């Protein structure tokens, strides 16, 4: 019994040193050298100020920006969170109807327009940075109007949507999507 | 199309790689020569020397079991203390405060038992030291404990009149050094390359495009997520686990993490074939598991893609991430519940009723569809023994498994291992449904509320760790009761399994004769699946019909709560 306590403690001590200290610091070293930006949160900077992370979505209320998905945590990262509502939840059903109405109204779309479902349902992390290209295209007219864009500028807007569209990896892995924050950053660049 | 392109490459790559990795794991566990020896051979010897372990000394089942229990108990004590004092310890740039006693109790039990249930939110409740030296370490050693128990059981079954079933310290150390650590290093580097954070910096404050404040969390995540996926642990670095874009940022990281969930559990079916010197035995178990896995996946996909009238054909994206989409989210929910991982890339609480039910059934039938690292195999062998026994009763012969007679003692132990988690799931759920402390945590009304409670105790007893996360479980009631469930579900199986190993090792092997009931045939696959479903089905069907089944029919009718 006594020997087992000592062996357990010694092995635990060595495991904590090896797996809890050496291993994570070793990986940190490799990551910091080879993937410096990525391992530090893929931060985005504008004029030297951190404006967010390319991985983390942001809330956009201004009509002149593309809107992100609904978020149960309001794009708060501390902590991340989802609605966890079920499909038999009245609350969820009302939310979806309400979001659909709002999306159609604010973008002046026909009332029978099909809205991509990611704009109607909240994400799992509350921080989803992506929407589908269709959801972005449906917002073009509204943004052009809010920004007083000429036809030429509107064309440019459609081009940046196309350029920002991320296809599935090797055409099979993942979804076709677009990063809202990166898109909005380029939107601000349209002159 | 989307479904096929997500599912098929995943399954094919697993089936191609698993026989090779299974063979490698066999060599490691059997103490043969392999290519990692030159790298970790010296550290292995060093560990034995420093801990004064004699690696060639073999243990009988009782000392194997007591070594395991002592190691796990002290692991719990250290983690518990670490979580209670993290505020005063180094590597805490966010000045996270100490955990409450009940959350710390729950979390440390949860990680020691390979459950990795999250009562806490990693980004606000844990210091970097707790994540690294606390949770990560248990991620490794709890998975290694599972592999050790599996190895000991097979040694007992194949041993010819021996008392000893191996050396726990050797099995543990080898599993960590040669299997879990090398794979974790590869996975961690690949994940960091995809954008998973890996640093020890404080969180970064950002000013968003619209001028709001947003905190960008940081931390040593990649190194922990690698072992969390590979060891079927599943406890996230962040609150929303692998749905969090920093824990799982790209389609490739999603594939890697998904692959890691099943890699070792699937490989172990082939390791088993090697250990019993009949690869057909391994393939038989693989086939039975694979059929159950595929059946669950088909039902989940069907359920997730069909939409009842009230939802007007909108595809269900609640709780799912755009980059993962529906097919990859459902595939993950099937893999993570089949394999006792419990990590999630979409919120299970928001899954459609039937896919939520499949997830629950996967856990309830004892986490034997590939199952946890090691745990899935020893759980499955329990069912194999039961099947042999029942088949033996049907034809009126003394049941034999791999030449060993199955007798009263083995069956008693098997029943104990099958009943212990079932009792936890049903009785604890019933208690929670009867008292305000249980009901006040609910996030959904109607039958889905019952599902939330049922899922919580299934997850605890099955050592899975995923959740219908709407249920608020960070209360004294749930923290203590689920911790009790996790302990029962883990050691209520490990102890009987080791007892079986010890008892069977002492028996003689009778040579195969014409009357021997074969355990490597299609007939056996069918029988095994039937036994698993009958045991699971009969025990849980009433509870499931009040939860997800009722929810399914009400949803078809358009009833909301």
Q: How many CB atoms lie within 10 A of CB B205?
A: 11
SS3 state at B357? helix
pLDDT at B5 over 90: no
- CB distance from B558 to chain A under 8 Å? no
User: Which residues in chain A show pLDDT less than 50?
Assistant: none
Which residues of B fall within a CB distance of 8 Å from A84? 319, 347, 349-350, 443-444, 468-470
pLDDT at B530 over 80: yes
- The whole-number average pLDDT for the span B325-351 is 95
Q: How many CB atoms lie within 10 A of CB B94?
A: 17
Which residues of B fall within a CB distance of 8 Å from A40? 197, 199, 201, 218
Nearest CA in chain B to A12: B75
pLDDT at B80 over 90: yes
Burial of residue B33 (number of CB atoms within 10 Å: 0-12, 13-18, 19+) = exposed
In this predicted structure, what is the pLDDT of residue B114?
A: 95
In this predicted structure, what is the pLDDT of residue B397?
A: 83
- The whole-number average pLDDT for the span B19-40 is 95
Rg (Cα) of chain B, in Å, rounded?
23
- CB distance from B98 to chain A under 8 Å? no
pLDDT at B423 over 80: yes
Which residues of B fall within a CB distance of 8 Å from A173? 5-6, 9, 251-252, 254-255
Per-residue pLDDT tens over the stretch B442-479: 999 999 999 999 999 999 999 999 999 999 999 999 99
Average pLDDT, chain B: 94
Q: What is the separation of C-alpha B274 from the centre of its chain, rounded to a whole number of angstroms?
A: 23
- Of B188 and B512, the structure prediction assigns the larger pLDDT to B188
Measured distance CA(A32)–CA(A10) in Å, rounded: 32
Give the DSSP letter of residue B243. G
pLDDT at B1 over 80: no
Domain ranges of chain B: 21-240, 280-557
Q: Are B325 and A175 in contact (CB under 8 A)?
A: yes
- The whole-number average pLDDT for the span B108-113 is 96
Which residues of B fall within a CB distance of 8 Å from A4? 66-67, 70
Which residues of B fall within a CB distance of 8 Å from A65? 209-210
Nearest CA in chain A to B472: A84
- CB distance from B4 to chain A under 8 Å? no
Per-residue pLDDT tens over the stretch B475-513: 999 999 999 999 999 999 999 999 999 999 999 998 887
Per-residue pLDDT tens over the stretch B353-394: 999 999 999 999 999 999 999 999 999 999 999 999 999 988
Residues paired with A44 in a beta bridge: A52
Which residues of A fall within a CB distance of 8 Å from B205? 50
Burial of residue A64 (number of CB atoms within 10 Å: 0-12, 13-18, 19+) = middle
Which structure tokens are listed for B525?
A: 């696959």
Q: Are B241 and B118 in contact (CB under 8 A)?
A: yes
| Residue B212 Rama label (left phi>0; alpha psi -120 to 50; beta) | beta
Q: Alpha helix locations (H) across B31-167?
A: 37-50, 61-85, 101-112, 122-125, 128-129, 137-158
Average pLDDT, chain A: 95
In this predicted structure, what is the pLDDT of residue B197?
A: 97
Which structure tokens are listed for A15?
A: 């495991």
Our CA-based measurement puts residue B438 at a distance from the nearest CA of chain A, in whole angstroms, of: 18
Look at strands A130-131 and B404-405 and give their pairing.
unpaired
Instruction: Return the number of CB contacts < 8 Å for A and B.
Output: 351
Which residues of A fall within a CB distance of 8 Å from B78? 12, 16
In this predicted structure, what is the pLDDT of residue A148?
A: 94
pLDDT at B32 over 90: yes
Which structure tokens are listed for A77?
A: 């990262």
- Per-residue confidence band for B219, with pLDDT thresholds at 50, 70 and 90: very high
Our CA-based measurement puts residue B202 at a distance from the nearest CA of chain A, in whole angstroms, of: 10
Peptide bond just before A79 cis, omega within 30 deg = yes
Give the DSSP letter of residue B348. G
Q: Are B406 and B388 in contact (CB under 8 A)?
A: yes
Which residues of B fall within a CB distance of 8 Å from A120? 314, 317
Instruction: Check CB contact under 8 Å for B321 and A130.
Output: yes
From the list A4, A79, A120, the residue facing B121 with the nearest CB is A79
Q: Are B207 and B194 in contact (CB under 8 A)?
A: no
- CB distance from A71 to chain B under 8 Å? no
In this predicted structure, what is the pLDDT of residue B232?
A: 95
A:159-178 residues touching chain B, CB 8 A cutoff: 168-169, 172-175, 177
- CB distance from B507 to chain A under 8 Å? no
Q: Are B474 and B119 in contact (CB under 8 A)?
A: yes
């Amino acid at each position: 019994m006594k020997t087992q306590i000592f062996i357990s403690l010694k092995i635990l001590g060595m495991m904590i040193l090896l797996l809890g200290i050496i291993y994570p610091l070793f990986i940190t070293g490799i990551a910091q050298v080879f993937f410096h930006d990525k391992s530090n949160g893929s931060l985005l900077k504008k004029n030297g100020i951190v404006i967010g992370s390319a991985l983390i979505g942001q809330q956009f209320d201004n009509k002149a920006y593309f809107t992100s998905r609904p978020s149960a945590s309001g794009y708060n990262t501390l902590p991340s969170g989802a609605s966890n509502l079920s499909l038999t939840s009245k609350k969820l059903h009302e939310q979806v109807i309400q979001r659909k109405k709002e999306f159609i109204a604010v973008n002046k779309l026909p009332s029978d327009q099909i809205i991509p479902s990611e704009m109607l349902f909240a994400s799992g992390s509350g921080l989803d940075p992506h929407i589908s290209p269709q959801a972005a295209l449906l917002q073009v007219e509204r943004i052009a109007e809010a920004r007083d864009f000429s036809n030429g500028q509107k064309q440019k807007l459609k081009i940046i949507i196309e350029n920002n569209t991320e296809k599935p990896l090797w055409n099979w892995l993942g979804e076709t999507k677009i990063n809202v924050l990166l898109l909005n950053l380029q939107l601000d660049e349209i002159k | 199309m989307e479904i096929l392109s997500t599912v098929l490459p995943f399954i094919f790559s697993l089936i191609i790689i698993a026989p090779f990795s299974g063979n490698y794991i066999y060599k490691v566990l059997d103490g043969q020569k392999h290519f990692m020896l030159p790298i970790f051979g010296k550290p292995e010897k060093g560990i034995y020397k420093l801990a004064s372990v004699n690696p060639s000394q073999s243990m009988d089942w009782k000392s194997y079991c007591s070594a395991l229990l002592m190691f796990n108990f002290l692991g719990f004590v250290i983690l518990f203390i670490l979580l209670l004092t993290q505020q005063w310890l180094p590597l805490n740039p966010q000045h996270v405060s100490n955990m409450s006693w009940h959350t710390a109790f729950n979390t440390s039990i949860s990680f020691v038992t390979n459950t990795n249930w999250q009562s806490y939110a990693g980004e606000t409740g844990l210091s970097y030291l707790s994540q690294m030296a606390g949770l990560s370490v248990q991620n490794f050693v709890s998975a290694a404990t599972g592999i050790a128990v599996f190895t000991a059981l097979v040694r007992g079954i194949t041993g010819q009149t021996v008392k000893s079933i191996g050396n726990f310290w050797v099995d543990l150390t080898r599993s960590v050094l040669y299997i879990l650590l090398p794979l974790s290093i590869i996975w961690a580097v690949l994940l960091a390359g995809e954008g998973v954070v890996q640093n020890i910096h404080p969180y970064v404050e950002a000013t968003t495009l619209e001028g709001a404040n947003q905190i960008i969390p940081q931390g040593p995540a990649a190194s922990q997520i690698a072992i969390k996926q590979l060891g079927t642990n599943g406890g996230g670095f962040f609150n929303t686990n692998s749905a969090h874009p920093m824990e799982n940022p790209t389609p490739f990281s999603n594939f890697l993490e998904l692959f890691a969930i099943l890699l070792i559990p699937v490989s172990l079916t082939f390791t088993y074939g090697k250990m019993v010197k009949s690869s057909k035995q391994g393939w038989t178990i693989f086939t039975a598991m694979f059929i159950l896995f595929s059946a669950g996946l088909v039902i989940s996909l069907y359920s997730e893609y069909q939409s009842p009238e009230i939802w007007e054909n909108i595809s269900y994206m609640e709780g799912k991430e755009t980059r993962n989409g529906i097919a990859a989210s459902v595939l993950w929910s099937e893999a993570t519940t089949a394999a006792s991982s419990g990590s999630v890339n979409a919120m299970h609480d928001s899954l459609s009723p039937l896919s939520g039910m499949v997830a629950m059934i996967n856990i309830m039938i004892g986490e034997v569809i590939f199952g946890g690292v090691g745990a899935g195999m020893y759980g499955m062998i329990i069912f194999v023994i039961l099947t042999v026994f029942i088949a033996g009763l049907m034809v009126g012969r003394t049941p034999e498994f791999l030449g060993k007679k199955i007798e009263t003692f083995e069956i008693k132990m098997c029943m104990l291992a099958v009943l212990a988690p079932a009792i936890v799931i049903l009785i604890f759920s019933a208690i929670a449904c009867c008292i305000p402390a249980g009901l006040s945590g609910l996030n959904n009304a109607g039958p889905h509320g019952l599902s939330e409670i049922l899922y919580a105790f299934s997850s605890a007893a099955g050592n899975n760790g995923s959740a219908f996360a709407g249920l608020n479980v960070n209360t004294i009631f749930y923290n203590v009761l689920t911790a009790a469930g996790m302990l029962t579900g883990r050691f209520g199986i490990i102890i009987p399994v080791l007892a079986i190993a010890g008892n069977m090792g002492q028996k003689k092997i009778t040579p195969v004769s014409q009357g021997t009931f074969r355990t490597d045939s299609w007939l056996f696959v069918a029988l095994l699946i039937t036994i698993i479903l009958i045991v699971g089905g009969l025990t849980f069907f009433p509870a499931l019909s009040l939860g997800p089944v009722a929810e399914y029919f009400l949803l078809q009718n358009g009833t909301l709560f």
